[in-house]
Structure 1
Amino acid sequence: MTQLGSATVKGMRWTYLAGVAAIVLQLPYAAVMARLLTPEDFGLMALAHLVLRFAHHFAQGGLRSAVVQRATLTDRDIRVTFTLALLVGTCSFAAVWCVAPYATELVRGPAELTRVIRATALMLVFMALGAPAAGLLARAMRYRAVALTDFLSFAVGYCLVGFTSALSGAGVWSLVYGTLCWYFLQALLPCLLVRHSLRPLFDLPAMRDILGFGGKVSVNGFLEYLTEDFGKLAIGRYVGITAAGLYDRAALLASLPLHQIQTAASKVLLPAFSRIRHETGRLGASYTDCVCLTALILLPLWAVIGASSDQLVALLLGGQWTGAAELVPMLGLVSVLALLAQFLGTLVEAMGLVGPKVLIHLVQLAVLVTGTALALAAGGGIQALMAVVLTGQAIRLALLQAWLSRLFPATRRPVAAAYAQAAGLAAATWTVLWCLQHTLDGRCPTALLLAAKLITAGALAVCCARYGGSLRGVRVARERGLLPAALTRHHPARTQ
């Protein structure tokens, strides 16, 4: 295995470890907060994040990606990037402050929503100022540092501050305080580790050069915001704040482990792909391996979450969130498609081909707008709106996959086989868990039923890893050394 391959594998291990730790921490945190706060509190914060996500992509300005992807990087470039971050973050905060009342009117929210939006908008400044340092850590492939800073900022900033604020009766403001502390630490800790120069440097030609790539990343990020949060916006406006809160918590349960896995992978793969972006054969092989592994993890995991939605909502959220259970399976599938598409987007971003992504996002947005209008005209409720979101995500993934198949023709058959195998395994997992539920339902407490499902799913995963050598994703995991030795028997790692 090459030095790059070894560093990438180590990075995957560290980021996945941090992701698992975050899941272990966030599940009990979500369970406690769901009992301390109301659906209306989460609905307010969910709608506030819709506005903030609108500006969040411009606040970063694609600066982190520009630092990672850039072929050469000097101290002067870093100073210019930090200056851009300061300007963009401050302007984004000011813009959100001004538009907050109009955003509240758009979603027909209460007056308190304006105050929540304005206060939380301070995260945009933190996010922008931390982007250069975070990019430098990723560029240097210091994955252990990235994983630790991400976990510590989440644990201390978001969970600890949010929990103590909720206990003191802060209501929705506990979510605001937790979010601000989270992003503040996410900016501070990388800066302390990297210690790059904080002296501003105004160099317009250099700024234009950096924004030439970073600006395209920001535009794509903005379009992703429109497409990914379109359903939540429509539900908040046409169904109500409480429905938006149910949607938000259902989306959390449906996508939490999926999102952690894919986010961890993206942080490692962007710098790794960037380093070999001119080696077409090697890049195509790495892309195929990553698709095989990612699909085989995400689709069966979605099946576990979807088949256990009733038990997960009852135990983690409580009785006031019963309506969220029926939303989890479809939202989980939406998350899987979105995360697979996000992975493909990471690849083309590393190659510097971010322009054509705009057209794909515009097609998806057109599908969402048209589908939502038809669903509302037909009197459809939240389920109809989610079906529109699912259709849009499926079209986006199909277009991205077709584009990459043209760039790497040799990958078509193995990638198609990987998707088919992952879908088949997901269907088999769901069927087994469905049979288990119908066997035990009403005969044991909800907690024991969920435990039985998780144990069964874990046993299936272990069997798959040990005996599923015909599955492409399993072969990749063995060859890359991503599985424990006890599960790999004597399968040697592939050399590069």
Structure 2
Amino acid sequence: MTQLTSVTVKGVRWTYLAGAAGIAVQIPYAAAMARLLTPADFGLMALAHLVLRFAHNFAQGGLRSAVVQRPSLTGRDVRVIFALALTAGSCSFAAIWLIAPCATELLRGPAELTSLIRTAALILVFMALGAPATGLLSRGMRYRAIAFTDFFSFVVGYCVIGISSALLGAGVWSLVYGTLGWYLLQALLPYLMVRHSLLPLFDVRAMHEVMRFGGKVSVNGFLEYLTEDFGKLVIGRYVGVTAAGLYDRAALLASLPLQQIQAAAGKVLLPAFSRIQNESNRLSASYADCAALTTLVLFPLWAVIGASSEQLVALLLGSQWRGSAELVPILGLVSALSLVTQFSGTLVEAIGAVGRKLVISVVQLLVLVAGTALALFLGCGVHGLMVVVLASQLVKQALFHAWLNRLFPATRRPVAEAYAQAAGLTVLIWVALWSVQGALEGGCPVALVLAAKAATAGALVLGCLRYGAGLHGVRVARERGLLPGKLSRQDLKEAC
């Protein structure tokens, strides 16, 4: 195992540990807030986030990625990047402040939405100013520090500030205060760890050089925002704020564990890929390995969430969120496909090939807009819109694979095998969980049904790890040191 591989594996372990801790905290937080607030409150915050995400990527300007991806980085470069961050953050905040009333009218939201948007827009400033420090932590592969920042920021920002505000009767504003606290700590803590110069350097030529890469990342992020949140925007405008809240909580429940896995791995893979951006053979092998691992983890996990959606919504969110349960399975599949594709996007971003990534995002957006227009014309409702979102994600997935297969021809067979193996395991888990529900539903409490499903899924996964040496993802995990080389019966007993 090379030194880079060893550092990367340690980074994956740290970020996954932080991700697991984050899930352990986020689930009780989501359950508590779902009972303290109403669907309309979450709907308002979801609409505010739609507007903020409009400027989200331009506020950061792709600066974190630029810090990580650059072959060499000097103190002067950091000052230039900080100057860009200061400019981008300030301009983004000012733009959102000005367009907030128009955005409220476009989304057909209440007058309070304007104040929500303007206050929450401070996160754009925090995000931009924190980008250089966060990028320096990632570039230095200081994964333990990144893991600590993520976990501590969430606990203090959302759990302490958010829940305390909700208990004091702040309503939807408790979501704003929690979000502001989280973003502020996400910017402050990395800076305290790296202590880069805060003296901005407004060198136009150097800033232009940084923005040649960072600007493309921002534009691509903006297009991804449009494709990811287009459904929420349409629902909020044409169906209503409450429906947007149900959609928002369904999306959270469907994607929470999946996004934690993707976010954790993404923080590790961009620096790792950037270090070997000129070594085609190693990049090719890494792409095949990532495809095997991500599909084998994300798709079966989606099966567990989708097949247990009714029980999860009933226990975690409560009866007022029953309408979210039927949206969870399809949103979970969309999320799983999206997150698998993001690993491919991380790879092409690391090698600087952002242009074609932009083209793929544009094609996906065109499919989404055309499909949405057709669904609205036919009166297909929320479920029809979800099918359109899924179709657009499948198009993006196909285009990425076609491109990467041309870049790395040797990966075609192992990647196809990885998808086939993950699909087989996913179907097995889904059928098993539905069988459990059919046997227990009606006479058993919801908690018992969910526990039985979790036990069944756990047994299948442990059996896969113990006897699935032929699975590409399991083999890669063992070779990379993410799993023991041989899982014994004693290991299984201890896990159970």
Same fold (TM over 0.5): yes
Give the C-alpha shift of residue 180 in structure 1: 0.2
Is the 1:92–1:124 Cα contact (8 Å) retained in structure 2?
A: yes
Q: What is residue 100 of structure 2 aligned with on the other side?
A: 100
Paired with 1:393 and 1:337, the residues of 2 have a C-alpha distance of 7
What letter corresponds to residue 112 of structure 1 in structure 2? E
Q: What is residue 79 of structure 2 aligned with on the other side?
A: 79
Q: What is residue 492 of structure 1 aligned with on the other side?
A: none
Q: Which moved more, 1:436-445 or 1:120-129?
A: 436-445
Q: What is residue 389 of structure 2 aligned with on the other side?
A: 389
Give the C-alpha shift of residue 251 in structure 1: 0.3
Q: Structure 1, residues 12-41: CA drift from partner, whole Å, max 9, x if none?
A: 000000001010100011001000000000
Give the C-alpha shift of residue 158 in structure 1: 1.7
Paired with 1:386 and 1:327, the residues of 2 have a C-alpha distance of 8
Aligned to 1:400, the other structure's residue is in SS state: helix
Q: What is residue 115 of structure 2 aligned with on the other side?
A: 115
What letter corresponds to residue 143 of structure 1 in structure 2? Y
What letter corresponds to residue 190 of structure 2 in structure 1? P
Query: How is 1:441-456 mapped onto 2 (pairs within 5 angstroms)?
Result: 441-456=441-456
Give the C-alpha shift of residue 198 in structure 1: 0.5
Q: What is residue 223 of structure 2 aligned with on the other side?
A: 223
Consecutive unaligned residues in structure 2, runs of 5 or more? 490-496
Paired with 1:193 and 1:220, the residues of 2 have a C-alpha distance of 29
Q: What is residue 341 of structure 1 aligned with on the other side?
A: 341
What letter corresponds to residue 349 of structure 1 in structure 2? E
Paired with 2:395 and 2:170, the residues of 1 have a C-alpha distance of 42
Is the 1:60–1:218 Cα contact (8 Å) retained in structure 2?
A: yes
Give the C-alpha shift of residue 256 in structure 1: 0.1
Q: What is residue 154 of structure 1 aligned with on the other side?
A: 154
Paired with 2:121 and 2:488, the residues of 1 have a C-alpha distance of 48
Point out 4+ residue stretches in structure 1 off by more than 2 angstroms. 484-489
Paired with 2:484 and 2:86, the residues of 1 have a C-alpha distance of 44
Q: What is residue 494 of structure 1 aligned with on the other side?
A: none
Is the 1:220–1:361 Cα contact (8 Å) retained in structure 2?
A: yes
Give the C-alpha shift of residue 243 in structure 1: 0.5
Q: What is residue 319 of structure 1 aligned with on the other side?
A: 319
Give the C-alpha shift of residue 426 in structure 1: 0.4
Q: What is residue 402 of structure 2 aligned with on the other side?
A: 402
Is the 1:220–1:358 Cα contact (8 Å) retained in structure 2?
A: yes
Q: What is residue 331 of structure 1 aligned with on the other side?
A: 331
Give the C-alpha shift of residue 459 in structure 1: 1.2
Is the 1:465–1:488 Cα contact (8 Å) retained in structure 2?
A: no
Paired with 2:249 and 2:6, the residues of 1 have a C-alpha distance of 38
Is the 2:478–2:485 Cα contact (8 Å) retained in structure 1?
A: no
Paired with 1:341 and 1:229, the residues of 2 have a C-alpha distance of 16
Q: What is residue 178 of structure 1 aligned with on the other side?
A: 178
Q: How many residue pairs get matched?
A: 490
Q: Which moved more, 1:475-484 or 1:168-177?
A: 475-484
Is the 2:89–2:124 Cα contact (8 Å) retained in structure 1?
A: yes
Paired with 1:18 and 1:398, the residues of 2 have a C-alpha distance of 32
Paired with 1:13 and 1:488, the residues of 2 have a C-alpha distance of 21
Query: How is 1:274-423 mapped onto 2 (pairs within 5 angstroms)?
Result: 274-423=274-423
Paired with 1:397 and 1:105, the residues of 2 have a C-alpha distance of 35
Query: How is 1:216-255 mapped onto 2 (pairs within 5 angstroms)?
Result: 216-255=216-255
Q: Structure 1, residues 362-384: CA drift from partner, whole Å, max 9, x if none?
A: 11111111101110110110000
Q: Does 1:13 align with 2:13?
A: yes
Give the C-alpha shift of residue 487 in structure 1: 2.2
Is the 2:78–2:132 Cα contact (8 Å) retained in structure 1?
A: yes
Consecutive unaligned residues in structure 1, runs of 5 or more? 490-496
What letter corresponds to residue 295 of structure 2 in structure 1? A
Give the C-alpha shift of residue 214 in structure 1: 0.2
Q: Structure 1, residues 271-313: CA drift from partner, whole Å, max 9, x if none?
A: 0000001000011001100110000000000000000000000
Is the 2:296–2:421 Cα contact (8 Å) retained in structure 1?
A: yes
Give the C-alpha shift of residue 162 in structure 1: 0.3
What letter corresponds to residue 128 of structure 2 in structure 1? A
Give the C-alpha shift of residue 480 in structure 1: 0.7
- RMSD over equivalenced CA pairs, Å: 1.1
Q: Structure 1, residues 154-180: CA drift from partner, whole Å, max 9, x if none?
A: 111122110000000000000000000
Q: What is residue 493 of structure 1 aligned with on the other side?
A: none
Q: What is residue 32 of structure 1 aligned with on the other side?
A: 32
What letter corresponds to residue 386 of structure 1 in structure 2? M
Is the 2:479–2:485 Cα contact (8 Å) retained in structure 1?
A: no
Is the 2:468–2:474 Cα contact (8 Å) retained in structure 1?
A: yes
What letter corresponds to residue 278 of structure 1 in structure 2? N
Paired with 1:49 and 1:399, the residues of 2 have a C-alpha distance of 29
Is the 1:337–1:394 Cα contact (8 Å) retained in structure 2?
A: yes
Paired with 1:488 and 1:355, the residues of 2 have a C-alpha distance of 47
What letter corresponds to residue 387 of structure 2 in structure 1? A
Q: What is residue 471 of structure 1 aligned with on the other side?
A: 471
What letter corresponds to residue 30 of structure 1 in structure 2? A
Is the 1:67–1:132 Cα contact (8 Å) retained in structure 2?
A: yes
Give the C-alpha shift of residue 458 in structure 1: 1.0
Give the C-alpha shift of residue 486 in structure 1: 6.5
Give the alignment's TM-score, normalised by structure 1: 0.98
Q: What is residue 3 of structure 2 aligned with on the other side?
A: 3
What letter corresponds to residue 338 of structure 2 in structure 1? A
What letter corresponds to residue 357 of structure 2 in structure 1? K
What letter corresponds to residue 213 of structure 1 in structure 2? F
Give the C-alpha shift of residue 485 in structure 1: 6.2
Aligned to 1:199, the other structure's residue is in SS state: coil
Q: Structure 1, residues 210-235: CA drift from partner, whole Å, max 9, x if none?
A: 01100000000000000110110011
Give the C-alpha shift of residue 117 in structure 1: 0.5
Q: What is residue 493 of structure 2 aligned with on the other side?
A: none
Q: Structure 1, residues 92-145: CA drift from partner, whole Å, max 9, x if none?
A: 000000011111111111111111000000000000000000000000000010
Is the 2:295–2:418 Cα contact (8 Å) retained in structure 1?
A: yes
Aligned to 1:229, the other structure's residue is in SS state: helix
Is the 1:478–1:488 Cα contact (8 Å) retained in structure 2?
A: no
Paired with 1:217 and 1:336, the residues of 2 have a C-alpha distance of 22
Is the 2:130–2:188 Cα contact (8 Å) retained in structure 1?
A: yes
Paired with 1:426 and 1:84, the residues of 2 have a C-alpha distance of 45
Give the C-alpha shift of residue 443 in structure 1: 2.2
What letter corresponds to residue 275 of structure 1 in structure 2? R
Give the C-alpha shift of residue 200 in structure 1: 1.2
Give the alignment's TM-score, normalised by structure 2: 0.98
Paired with 2:164 and 2:233, the residues of 1 have a C-alpha distance of 30
